[in-house]
Amino acid sequence: MLNIFKKVFKKTNEAIKEVAPKKKKKITKDEFEDILLEADVNYELVEKFLEDIPNSIDRGIAYNKLITVFQYKANWKHEIDDKPFIDMIVGVNGAGKTTTIAKLARYYQKKGQQVMLGAGDTFRAAAIEQLTRWANKLNITIVSTRQGHDPSAVVYDTISSAKAKGVDHVLIDTAGRLHTQTNLGEELKKMVRIANKAMEGSPHRKLLILDGTQGSSSINQAKVFNEMIGIDGIIITKLDGTAKGGSVLSIADELQMPIYYIGTGEQPDDLIEFKANEYVNTILDEIFV
């Protein structure tokens, strides 16, 4: 797993090497600051990290500081009395939402679970087609309709069908809605309400997909979605293509919600569970001997 983290954060580590070319047993406060800023950690968070630490910093001090931002608790139910477990996937266009749904479906398949998809992004015909192609490729049932139809109806039909068939896990896609589009925001709230009507307590988890290449700027997106429907956790995509891997620290600190998975590439198997300790150690391995 650690090797996978090194691969994902390769560009971030290369950026770190530019300001810290030689590994040391100890670094100065100023060096620590430069490294964190280079990796796209928010300045305010960097200042917080630098409080109450000595001028000479070893790996243990650095680790204890960075790991503190991940001391959050998940507030969704890991176990529910009845199948299926419903994930609703939200995020803006271009974040990799549809591909991530396919990756999640594959992730649950490998655990021996039966999965069903709901093509709730009826705003774009291309979104329905793309998700249908993934469903066919992975041999997964999908519930869909035509462009322009009511996405809440898709939500209801998907959950009802999954209950009837004893499916383990349902993944519901939603339109890649921009947070300035109020009407689409209201539609998203309706989808959440209808999910609860189809199965009380669902969606059990609302996952927000964030584009890792946007770095810390994605935090504002997350705040808007969280205010709108309440986000339970995050999946970060495209981290392998950016030097902004330090933004994970900023995202965790600002939002205080779990980062469940990160994308590691373009294929269905390219999704791993996020491990805070391995992430922090991957960064520190480039700094300390």
Residues 48 and 92 in one domain: no
Give 52's DSSP letter: T
Same domain, 155 and 252: yes
Query: Whole-prediction pTM value?
Result: 0.92
Nearest to 186 by CA among 241, 218, 229: 229
Q: How far is the C-alpha of 264 from the C-alpha of 10, rounded, in Å?
A: 11
For residues 122-129, average pLDDT: 91
| Helix H or strand E segment including 263 | strand 259-263
Assigned domain for 118 exists: yes
Residue 98 and residue 33 share a domain: no
Structure tokens at 277: 């300790």
**45 and 96: one domain?**
no
In a domain, 279, yes or no: no
The full length of the chain comes to 289
pLDDT tens sequence across 160-216: 999 999 999 999 999 886 655 677 788 899 999 999 999 999 999 999 999 988 877
Q: Could you tell me if 92 and 24 lie in one domain?
A: no
- Using one digit for the tens of pLDDT, what is the confidence trace for 56-70? 999 999 999 999 999
Residues 76-117: pLDDT tens digits?
555 566 789 999 999 988 889 999 999 999 999 999 999 999
Grade residue 2 by pLDDT with cuts at 50, 70 and 90. Answer: low
Rounded-to-integer distance, Cα 256 and Cα 215, Å: 16
Q: Is the dihedral of CA 7, 8, 14, 19 positive or negative?
A: negative
Complete edge-to-edge strand list for the sheet that includes strand 115-118: 141-143, 115-118, 169-172, 85-90, 205-211, 233-237, 259-263, 271-273
Give me the number of domains the chain comprises. 2
Same domain, 91 and 63: no
**Residue 153 falls within a domain, yes or no?**
yes
Q: CA-CA distance, 228 to 143, in Å (whole number)?
A: 25
How far is residue 12 from each of residues 4, 30, 147, 263, measured CA to CA in Å?
A: 14, 19, 40, 15
Indicate if 174 and 264 belong to the same structural domain: yes
Residue 270 is predicted with a pLDDT of 92
| Tokens (6 digits) for 83 | 């199948």
Higher pLDDT, 262 or 75: 262
d(CA 44, CA 245): 17
131 in the same domain as 6: no
Query: pLDDT band at residue 122, thresholds of 50, 70 and 90?
Result: very high
Residues 143, 240 within the same domain: yes
One domain, residues 142 and 172: yes
Q: Are residues 11 and 137 in the same domain?
A: no
Q: How far is CA 234 from CA 3, 82, 86, in A?
A: 22, 24, 15
Q: Do 235 and 107 fall within a single domain?
A: yes
134 found inside a domain: yes
Decide if 94 is inside a domain.
yes
- Tell me the residue range of the domain where 20 lies: 2-70
Residue 33 in domain: yes
Residue 78 in domain:
no
Model pLDDT, residue 80:
64
Residue 213 sits in a domain whose CATH number is 3.40.50.300
SS3 label, residue 271: strand
Q: Is residue 77 part of a domain?
A: no
Find out whether 252 and 259 touch, Cβ atoms under 8 Å. Answer: yes
